[in-house]
Amino acid sequence: MSRYAFIAAATLFTGLLVVLTMAIAQRDARVASTLPDIESAPYSAVLAKPIVVDSSAIGPDGGLIPSLPPVPEPWPMPSWDGELPTEPDPQIALVSGQAPITVATEPPKFDASRIVAPKPRSDAAPTLLPPGGTTAPPAVSIPSIPAPATTPVMPAPPTVALPSLPEVPSVATPVLPDNPVPKYDTPQSDAPPTNPLAPGPAPMSGAYGGAYGTAPGERSVPRPISEPSFPESSAQGPGRNLPQGNAPAIPADLPGNGFTPLSDPPSLTNPAANGWSKATPTPGSRQFDGSQNPSLEIHKRAPEEVQVGVPATFTAVVRNVGNATAFDVQVTDAIPKGARLVRTFPEAQRAGGDGLAWNLGELAAGQEATISMEIVPETEGELGSVASVKFAAQASVRTMSTQPRLTIKQTAVSEMLGGDSATIFIDVTNTGSGVARGVRLEEDVPNVFRHVSGASALQHDVGDLSPGETIRLEIELMAIAAGKVSNVVRATSANSATSESSFPIEVKAPKLQLQLVGPKLRHLERPSPYEAIIENTGTAVARDLYITARLPRGMNFVSASNEGTYLPDQHSVVWNLMELAAGTKAKTDLVLLPVEEGRFSIAMTTDGDGVRAEPTEREVIVEGQSELTFEIDDDNDPIEVAGMTTYSVRINNIGTRPDAEIRLVVEAPEGSTIEQVSSPMKYQVSGRQVVFSPIPSLASKQQVVVKVGVKHGREGTQVLRASLQSQLRAVPVIKDESTQVYRDR
């Protein structure tokens, strides 16, 4: 055997030995706890004499079935130094011939330093507590094994699993009561009990608990019995005054009578526990469905005759004769007048002065529970009491709460071209758990679409939709404009919330803009250049475009770029553009000649494949041109000194519009004199200058001629100057005419 296997086996064996030793000690302590406790004496001297017990009186857990032994003489009080007299260890002799059992006088002590306990597993067995204690034993450590100098190479040791140990119930340590040594009314007897195998005293706890009470933290679980029997013994003889605070507790291993143990009783201090604690806001168990009819009957029993000072037992049997479980069963009774209560089973709680209450919990159909009280009559006469029972019944009902939920799903293209038709599939589904009643579908037609009916709002009655059911509808819409819109569909129902679906759709289409740039004012016969601009501001390509410029009657076509064609019969110019991408523009030139005065308009339009631009116009004002000219010439050149020369001034309006307020001034050179003037206008001669009156109006192509005779007195080149100014010519126009003068003498 390897070293590690040996260590594991030794550890397991040691642990089992510890557990077995503690179990034996607890059993011995439990045997000791079943013996009567006489007030302040920790251990009874009555056990100085061996008690013969039949082996059949030993319980299944190794303890004795309790009984009330004879009460010995009172135990002497402790001395002033606190020391108690010691007695030899009591023994219990068995009739089976086995060795006597020594009653443990105190819990066994173990030296933890000498015990090597195995390392606890993750799922460690329940913690064992020493008899009479509530704290865990001191932790024991596993001594470390020194590692060898050289680590041996060997397979891993096998895993040794510790067996799961059953939990050993705690055994209460005898509690010393605080009341003084009791005084007995009758002489005590040392004789053994007449019936050593009779069941022990009924357990008491709570208000009646004492030296035989349960250990701290334990609960007294009521167990139904058919006929509880309280033995008559010298300890419970006539006149015995047992302190209510030291009544015996219920042994944990008390055998039942075949009935299922009752549940824990509800608290008497909790109002909700007395009849109404079982109400819940949720459906109960299926067994509570339908009619629930629990019915309880109670039957009380008492001896035909009792004697003053002799304990007697009153019992009551509560039976559920109905067809359903009764809950919160509570039996109330009273201590008979003229009697003193000794103890009750199961443990009862005080209710008022002489009232008793048993909380039995639940009683299933056909189940029964037995309660009892032991009393000591103190007066002669008829004794008795009235018991009552109350309970709560549970009934459950259930239904299914459903909720319909409508969902809408739209299926369609997310992008399309203007002029196309779109088919929208609408699926309405009831995803809830109930039927949707009166479902109606509503559709708002977006402004970029048009339904065949021309309506802007549509609706359709679907009817009822079962859970999980789906219905599909179709709507066909025509795209009439470009833009991004959302197709909104609503589903309404009479018993569910409105559901709404929004599906985005973008309609793409070209969008054209026209612009004509050129002069707004033009004179006659002055060429007028224009620029035509077409721009696609839409989201799709514009195809097969025809651009037309319609000319006014006062303007003639001169030229056009980009293969523009003049149509004489329509007096218009046409261009053809195959395609124009979105976001782009195209330009072309046009030259016109104004031939008439007036206000004219040049109109431009365009047509294409499914697209049309808004027409645009360009206004132009054509005006005529006023152009005055004048000429000066002389009839004699050269001429001798003192000779006279006649100068002719011709004023002409060669423009297209008349002119007005025409002023003419003629000035002779120095040394010359004005001899004569010939003019249709009035004039005034002032020295060497002639000023003519203004001509009111001079029409187009009209002429005015004036003549001035001048005599030159100096030889050389003599210059005559004339200036002309009009309403349309604010700046005077000056012209000179020279004449050569010579001396002939």
Amino acid letter for position 316 = A
Per the model's pLDDT, the better-predicted residue between 274 and 657 turns out to be 657
Confidence category of residue 225, pLDDT binned at 50, 70, 90: very low
Query: Is the model's pLDDT at 253 over the cut of 60?
Result: no
Q: What is the pLDDT of residue 2?
A: 65
CA atoms within 13 A on the CB side of 438: 6
pLDDT (tens digit per residue) in 142-151: 334 344 443 3
- Looking only at the bridges linking them, the beta strands covering 326-334 and 565-567 are unpaired
Q: What is the pLDDT of residue 100?
A: 52
Q: What is the pLDDT of residue 163?
A: 39
Phi, psi for residue 350 in degrees, rounded to 5: -70, 140
Q: What is the pLDDT of residue 30?
A: 65
271 three-class SS = helix
- Identify the sign of the CA torsion 44, 49, 55, 56: negative
C-alpha–C-alpha distance, residues 26 and 133, integer Å:
11
In a domain, 219, yes or no: no
pLDDT (tens digit per residue) in 320-348: 999 999 999 999 999 999 999 999 999 99
Average pLDDT over residues 524-535: 91
In a domain, 213, yes or no: no
Task: Tell whether 683 and 589 lie within a shared domain.
Answer: no
Confidence category of residue 124, pLDDT binned at 50, 70, 90: very low
In a domain, 224, yes or no: no
C-alpha–C-alpha distance, residues 517 and 604, integer Å:
11
In a domain, 40, yes or no: yes
Q: What is the pLDDT of residue 407?
A: 94
Task: Tell whether 36 and 116 lie within a shared domain.
Answer: yes
Q: What is the pLDDT of residue 546?
A: 92
Give the 3-state DSSP-derived string for 543-567, with helices as H, strands as E and coil as C.
Answer: EEEEEEEECCCCEEEEEECCCCEEE
- Looking only at the bridges linking them, the beta strands covering 91-94 and 51-53 are parallel
In a domain, 157, yes or no: no
Q: What is the pLDDT of residue 68?
A: 41
CATH number at residue 493: 2.60.40.10
Q: Tell me the two tokens of residue 20.
A: 């077995």
Query: Is the model's pLDDT at 745 over the cut of 80?
Result: no
Amino acid letter for position 74 = P
Confidence category of residue 409, pLDDT binned at 50, 70, 90: very high
Query: Is the model's pLDDT at 306 over the cut of 70?
Result: yes
Beta-carbon count within 10 A of 526 CB = 13
pLDDT (tens digit per residue) in 165-194: 334 333 333 333 343 333 334 333 343 333
744 three-class SS = coil
In a domain, 545, yes or no: yes
Q: List, in order, residues 6 or more apart from 731 with CB less than 8 Å away.
A: 725
Q: Tell me the two tokens of residue 188.
A: 């005590």
Task: Tell whether 243 and 318 lie within a shared domain.
Answer: yes
Q: What is the DSSP letter of 281?
A: S
pTM of the model: 0.40
Query: Is the model's pLDDT at 238 over the cut of 50?
Result: no
Q: What is the pLDDT of residue 37?
A: 44
Task: Tell whether 240 and 306 lie within a shared domain.
Answer: yes
Query: Is the model's pLDDT at 691 over the cut of 70?
Result: yes
Which strand ranges, in their side-by-side order, compose the sheet holding 355-363? 349-350, 355-363, 326-334, 388-393
Query: Is the model's pLDDT at 560 over the cut of 90?
Result: yes
Per the model's pLDDT, the better-predicted residue between 247 and 685 turns out to be 685
C-alpha–C-alpha distance, residues 463 and 466, integer Å:
10
Q: H/E element holding 717?
A: strand 716-725
In a domain, 383, yes or no: yes
Q: What is the pLDDT of residue 534?
A: 93
Q: Tell me the two tokens of residue 594.
A: 């104004």
Average pLDDT over residues 456-484: 92
Q: Tell me the two tokens of residue 217.
A: 């933290």
Phi, psi for residue 236 in degrees, rounded to 5: -115, 30
Q: List, in order, residues 6 or more apart from 100 with CB less than 8 Å away.
A: 50, 91, 92, 93, 94
Nearest 5 degrees, angle CA 139-CA 143-CA 145?
Answer: 155
Average pLDDT over residues 57-73: 46
DSSP bridge pairs for 409: 427
DSSP bridge pairs for 550: 572, 603
Amino acid letter for position 150 = T
Query: Is the model's pLDDT at 199 over the cut of 50?
Result: no
Q: What is the pLDDT of residue 499?
A: 92
Nearest 5 degrees, angle CA 734-CA 736-CA 739?
Answer: 170
Query: Is the model's pLDDT at 36 over the cut of 90?
Result: no
Q: What is the pLDDT of residue 278?
A: 65
DSSP string of 185-235?
SS----SPPS-TTS--PPP--GGGBSTTPPPTT--------SS------GG
Query: Is the model's pLDDT at 592 over the cut of 80?
Result: yes
C-alpha–C-alpha distance, residues 574 and 567, integer Å:
8
Q: Which domain holds residue 669?
A: 628-742
Among 604, 623, 642, the domain boundary falls at: 623
Among 623, 644, 659, the domain boundary falls at: 623
Q: What is the pLDDT of residue 78?
A: 39
Per the model's pLDDT, the better-predicted residue between 527 and 207 turns out to be 527
Task: Tell whether 618 and 635 lie within a shared domain.
Answer: no
C-alpha–C-alpha distance, residues 450 and 372, integer Å:
92
Among 623, 645, 673, the domain boundary falls at: 623
- What residue has token string 């060497």? 688
pLDDT (tens digit per residue) in 86-120: 444 445 444 434 455 444 444 444 343 333 333 44
Q: Tell me the two tokens of residue 59.
A: 């319980």
Average pLDDT over residues 229-234: 36
Q: How many distinct structural domains can be found in the chain? A: 5
Spatial CA neighbour of 172 closest among 218, 228, 138, 206: 218
CATH number at residue 242: 2.60.40.290
C-alpha–C-alpha distance, residues 659 and 430, integer Å:
91
Q: What is the pLDDT of residue 418?
A: 84
Spatial CA neighbour of 196 closest among 97, 50, 312, 309: 50
Phi, psi for residue 168 in degrees, rounded to 5: -90, 120
CA distances, 74 to each of 280, 323, 634 (Å) = 57, 55, 185
Q: List, in order, residues 6 or more apart from 519 with CB less than 8 Å away.
A: 528, 529, 620
Q: List, in order, residues 6 or more apart from 739 with CB less than 8 Å away.
A: 634, 636, 637, 638, 639, 645, 712, 717, 718, 719, 720
Task: Tell whether 442 and 533 lie within a shared domain.
Answer: no
Q: What is the mean pLDDT of the chain?
A: 73
Task: Tell whether 669 and 682 lie within a shared domain.
Answer: yes
Average pLDDT over residues 518-529: 89
Task: Tell whether 639 and 728 lie within a shared domain.
Answer: yes
Burial readout 488-502 (b: 16 or more C-beta within 10 A, e: otherwise): bbbbbbeebeebebe
Lowest mean pLDDT among 28-42, 147-161, 539-553: 147-161
Task: Tell whether 100 and 30 lie within a shared domain.
Answer: yes
Task: Tell whether 85 and 1 lie within a shared domain.
Answer: yes
pLDDT (tens digit per residue) in 534-551: 999 888 888 899 999 999
Task: Tell whether 574 and 647 lie within a shared domain.
Answer: no
Task: Tell whether 487 and 517 lie within a shared domain.
Answer: no
Q: What is the pLDDT of residue 232?
A: 38
Cis status, amide bond into 265, omega within 30 of 0 = no
427 three-class SS = strand
Nearest 5 degrees, angle CA 564-CA 566-CA 571?
Answer: 135
Query: Is the model's pLDDT at 679 over the cut of 80?
Result: yes
Confidence category of residue 13, pLDDT binned at 50, 70, 90: confident
Rounded to a whole number of angstroms, the CA Rg of the chain reads 68
Confidence category of residue 32, pLDDT binned at 50, 70, 90: low
Q: What is the pLDDT of residue 151?
A: 39
Which strand ranges, in their side-by-side order, compose the sheet holding 598-607? 521-523, 616-623, 598-607, 542-550, 572-580, 565-567
Q: What is the pLDDT of residue 126?
A: 35
In a domain, 492, yes or no: yes
Q: List, in order, residues 6 or more apart from 260 with CB less than 8 Å away.
A: 364, 367
Q: What is the pLDDT of residue 288?
A: 78
Residues of the chain with pLDDT > 90, as a percent, come to 40
Query: Is the model's pLDDT at 266 over the cut of 70?
Result: no
